A = this chain, B = another copy of it.
Amino acid sequence: MNKAIFCVAGCLFVTLAVAAGQAADDGPQYTADGQLLFPKDYREWVFLSSGLGMTYGPAGAAASEAPRFDNVFVNRSAYKSFLASGRWPDKTIFILEVRKSQSEGSINRGGHFQTSTAAVEAHVKDEKRFAGHWAFFGFGEGKPSGKLIPTSASCYSCHQDHGAVDTTFVQFYPTLIDVAKKKQTMR
């Protein structure tokens, strides 16, 4: 009988651990010198939106180039938490992926589709680690970790001044706007 109870407890533990695993394993990881480990699986995170040639943001295209797409992804645990609360939990990670665009290719003759990656940046919420709770990191191409962007950079003040929810641009993420309005977390 004790064995059975132990096993039930074990069963419950394993089940909960598996269920919780998705929520707990996708937070930020750092190198010993404070760089952010590149989240290799970010393309399997939740897509929030994409823009083309938007006038804010890093790594804009040169005037002679085709405009660039920016795709935004967020880790799955943070997304689930936002749906429930309208707030970003500690350990939220956004990935901004900037991609070059092309107009003519295959059967397409107009508009723009996405091609190679131009830049990848992260916006991370880690309340104990960063004085302002959030920090930005830039990843060099193919690098296993990314450097902290100094807090003097314009991304910090711009997100602080214009982010609709907790320094993030929820106003540009169409499926989250209604969540934030409903939860009254949108400023």
A contact set with B: CB distance below 8 Å: 1, 3-4, 7-8, 10-11, 14-15, 18-19, 43-44, 46-47, 49-56, 67, 69, 71, 73, 76, 79, 99, 105-117, 158, 162, 164, 169, 171-172, 174-175
Contact = CB atoms under 8 A, between A and B. Distances in A.
8 contacts: A3-B4, A14-B15, A18-B18, A50-B114, A53-B110, A67-B111, A106-B164, A115-B174
Contact of A113 (B10, B44, B73, B172): B172
A40 to B, nearest CB: 12
A54 B7 contact: no
A58 to B, nearest CB: 14
Given A8-B7, A15-B18, A71-B47, A162 B112 contact: no
Contacts of A69: 50, 52
Residue from the set A47, A109, A171 with the largest chain B CB neighbour count within 10 Å:
A47
Contact of A56 (B46, B107, B175): B107
Nearest to A14: B15
A28 to B, nearest CB: 21
A39 to B, nearest CB: 14
A108 B50 CA distance: 13
Contacts of A19: 18
Given A14-B15, A55-B111, 11 more contacts: A10-B11, A14-B14, A15-B18, A18-B19, A51-B112, A54-B111, A54-B113, A55-B107, A99-B174, A106-B171, A107-B162
Contacts of A49: 113-114
Contact of A43 (B15, B47, B105, B110): B47
Contact of A11 (B7, B44, B162, B164): B7
A171 B51 contact: no
